[in-house]
Amino acid sequence: MTDQLSLRELAGHLGCEFRGDPETTVTGVSTLQQAGESDLSFLANPRYRKHLAQTRAGIVVLRTDDAEGYDGAALLCDDPYASYARAAALFDHARRFEPGIHPGAFVDPAARVADGCFVGAGTVVESGAEIGSGVHLGHGTIIGRNCSVGDNSFLGPRVTVTAGARLGQRVIVHPGAVIGADGFGLAFHEGGWIKVPQLGSVVIGDDCEIGANTTIDRGALEDTVLENDVRLDNQIQIAHNVRIGAHTAMAGCSAVAGSARIGKYCLIGGGAGILGHLEVADRVTVTAMSLVTRSITEAGEYSSGTPLQPNRDWRRNAVRLRQLDDMARRLRRLEKE
């Protein structure tokens, strides 16, 4: 994170070629339309190329082909959006903090907090917890007994980590997330429910991101596991004993039921659901609002649900939907005849 970077410095950080005055400097980022002379911007989507000629951005990240005819300072690369993301991180002031333990925090004498950490007001670090170097624990965050947080992780306000959960390095957890709550384990006996003790934990790999108010339940016996570089959006439910493969991303309000296994490099759309004990292969995309009711064994894109349509059409089709079973039976009879 910095206050000012030159074109030459940015090219070195990003491994890009550059055109223009190498001493051109920027102090922030913005869109092509809104950028000023001190801003870095980017062109990734061809539909915004019309704004390139009029932009006032000090530096623009773009493909070599798109730079033809552009006279301003430019960073040239194959993937402008990825390069922009890496550049923008250098100006991310929101993650800056001064190390120190707030007087209103409680750190148990039997916990270990490494050097360079920030522990906010009202934050509690319980006995046996281990906090790596350069970690940020936001105000009101709870790190339970025997939990661990890896180096350079950033936990926002009111995060709860419990049940011996272990977070890797450079993990980002947004406000209100709960990691290690009991899974939904119940046994029905003689007219009532018996709670099944949840005895596992949660293991989160390096470079993962957990969205606001997302919940990741501890395992019943085995651990719930997120492998490296898993990205979860806000308000997602991950049930007990789920395993999510590396580099998988899930959009908001999706949910995974207990003991499901999701492969690597999967994309799960917003509001999608995956039933328990199913397996999803590597490189599967599940589109928004879909429900996965069977295991998916091959890579590809999968959808379910009914697209939006005018209410009059929906009512008519809903009637026909209720008639499908009868129609199928009649069709089989006709075929036999």
- DSSP of 121-176, one letter per residue? TT-EE-TT-EE-TT-EE-TT-EE-TT-EE-TT-EE-TT-EE-TT-EE-TT-EE-TT
Which residue in 204, 151, 172 sits closest to 92, CA to CA?
A: 172
Q: What angle do CA 240, 244, 249 make, to 5 degrees?
A: 120
Mean pLDDT of 99-103: 97
On whether both 16 and 109 belong to a single domain, the answer is no
Q: Is residue 280 part of a domain?
A: yes
The β-bridge partners of 143 are 125, 161
Active-site hit among 136, 174, 240, 247: 240
Domain of 12 in residue numbering reads as 5-95
**Rounded to two decimals, what is the model's pTM?**
0.91
Write down which residue in 61, 95, 129 finishes a domain. Answer: 95
Structure tokens at 270: 């917003």
Q: What is the pLDDT of residues 176-189, one digit of tens each?
A: 999 999 999 999 99
Which residue among 38, 67, 95 closes a domain?
Answer: 95
Could you tell me if residue 31 is inside a domain?
Answer: yes
pLDDT per position as a tens digit, 271-330: 999 999 999 999 999 999 999 999 999 999 999 988 889 999 999 998 998 999 999 999
220 and 104 part of one domain: yes
Residues 87 and 218 occupy one common structural domain: no
- Catalytic residue status for 240: yes
| 150 is a domain residue | yes
Which residue, of 95, 118, 140, is where some domain finishes?
95
Over 70: is that where the pLDDT of 198 sits?
yes
pLDDT at position 1: 52
